[in-house]
Amino acid sequence: MADLVSALADIVGAANVATGDAISDDLTHDEALTAEARAPLAVVRPASTDEVAAIVSLAAAQGVPVTARGSGTGLSGACIPQTDGLLISFDRMAEIVEIDLENHVAVVQPGVTLAQLDEATAAHGLIYPVQPGENSASLGGNVATNAGGMRAVRYGVTRNQVLGLTAVLGTGEVIRTGGKYVKATSGYDLTQLIIGSEGTLAVATEAILRLHPRLAHGATVLIPFTTLDEVAAAIPRIVGSGVNPTILEYIDFLTMGAITASAGLDLGVPQDVKDAALAYLVVVLENRTADRVEEDVVELAELLTELGALDVYVLPPGAGASLIDAREKAFWTAKAVGADDIIDMVVPRASIPEYLAAVQEAAQATGSLVVGCGHAGDGNVHLSVFQSDPAIRTDVVSRILRGGAALGGAVSGEHGIGTEKKAYLAAIEDPTKIDLMRRIKSAFDPSGILNPGVIFD
């Protein structure tokens, strides 16, 4: 141990290695509701790719586990270190290396936060469009989990924005994948493979990100419906209409009540409409000109009225932003009122009503409360599970995940598997695929030191 710490200090300087009581509690957990905090053997704070490579080489030689951590805002336990392992913290690698206006890309270190990048891109009329709802999240973590968020219906998720990576393999070797271009067919796409691998294949130390023009005009539209089937039926019609929504969310009436109450938000919906509304759609339309936004709002309103909406509310700009903000904070609202677990399954979007029926059946069968909202355009349903008994909670979560899998869904749309959903993945997923993933991990990380126990055992 002393030898290891001394070797780490040789790499990053003694001031950038912490052990024992010097390790901040903040570094021992993420935001998963079910995960236990764990302190690592040592926290290491590298300042360069070369230093990361040296740390990983050292760890590989000694068989010491390595977990990488950005802001620690994950929801699946994937950045909680091993007690006998190292935690690489990226707070010293948090620079925007470049905003390239000709190629419309940003080059960032893993510790850069979404807030930091948003400010830098806004100055040039550009946007990095992945907004998973937590602006303090780091880009390194976003890459590791393939972060999504509300704007995915228009812009896609992290994997659609990352054009290239610098990454350290489990051998300590450094590779550079992709580049400042949006396409290539020159061997296997290692960039895509590393994205979403939750730190188990490689440690990303730099990313090339695609930027988009920032749209200057927008409107937030709130649409109550009496049934979820109507909401589900409206979604393909909205997407098919070509208005190309930036955000297309559904919120059930319980969640809507909770997030608006928590934010002290009055959206101007009359009580009789509130009483009749079982589910809401929230649609954000954006465009280059105010005229086009206005035209699109009119078209959307006509379409939704025809599809049975109780009413269509174009929210004043302040209220619109507050509602989106409150929706982004839905997780915190759920946590504050005592949710015991969260699920972010993805199903074919047309199967949302059937999936939610299965969810309610599972909730009733186990005496649990399950409420939710979701990225309706993507079929990514976020559920808060209230069930304090751990065994029953495992049962209800299993039932919910099996219900979605039967509809062709996947365990997680954007939170990842981490440690907290891996037992469910193992139970649901085809063992042939899990075995294949294990062999792929061995190709990147022959000694198995990178985030062991995450995604699969």
Q: Which residues contact 20 (CB under 8 A, 6 or more apart)?
A: none
Please tell me the distance from the alpha carbon of residue 208 to that of residue 308, in angstroms, as a whole number: 44
Shortest Cβ 339–its own copies spacing (Å) = 20
348 binds its own copies (CB under 8 A): yes
Site for its own copies, residues 101 to 130, rule: CB under 8 A:
101-104, 125-126
> Amino acid identity, residue 111?
G
The β-bridge partners of 380 are 346, 375
423 binds its own copies (CB under 8 A): no
229 binds its own copies (CB under 8 A): no
145 binds its own copies (CB under 8 A): yes
Please tell me the distance from the alpha carbon of residue 97 to that of residue 434, in angstroms, as a whole number: 36
- Using CB under 8 A, which of 42, 53, 112, 157 touches its own copies? 157
Shortest Cβ 243–its own copies spacing (Å) = 8
The dihedrals phi and psi of 253, each to the nearest 5 degrees, come to -65, -30
313 binds its own copies (CB under 8 A): no
432 binds its own copies (CB under 8 A): yes
419 binds its own copies (CB under 8 A): no
- Using CB under 8 A, which of 5, 437, 447, 448 touches its own copies? 437
347 binds its own copies (CB under 8 A): yes
Q: Which alpha helices (DSSP H) does 25-100 contain, by range? A: 49-62
CA dihedral 44, 48, 52, 57 (to 10 degrees): -120
Shortest Cβ 180–its own copies spacing (Å) = 4
Shortest Cβ 327–its own copies spacing (Å) = 18
213 binds its own copies (CB under 8 A): yes
Q: Checking DSSP bridges between strand 126-127 and strand 17-19, what pairing results, if any?
A: unpaired
Shortest Cβ 155–its own copies spacing (Å) = 11
Please identify, among the stretches 53-61, 86-94, 95-103, 268-276, the one whose residues bind its own copies according to the rule CB under 8 A.
Answer: 95-103
Shortest Cβ 448–its own copies spacing (Å) = 14
Please tell me the distance from the alpha carbon of residue 165 to that of residue 69, in angstroms, as a whole number: 17
Q: Which residues contact 445 (CB under 8 A, 6 or more apart)?
A: 169, 170, 171, 200, 201, 202
388 binds its own copies (CB under 8 A): no
433 binds its own copies (CB under 8 A): yes
- In the block, tokens 């709002």 appear at 297
End-to-end CA distance of the chain: 25
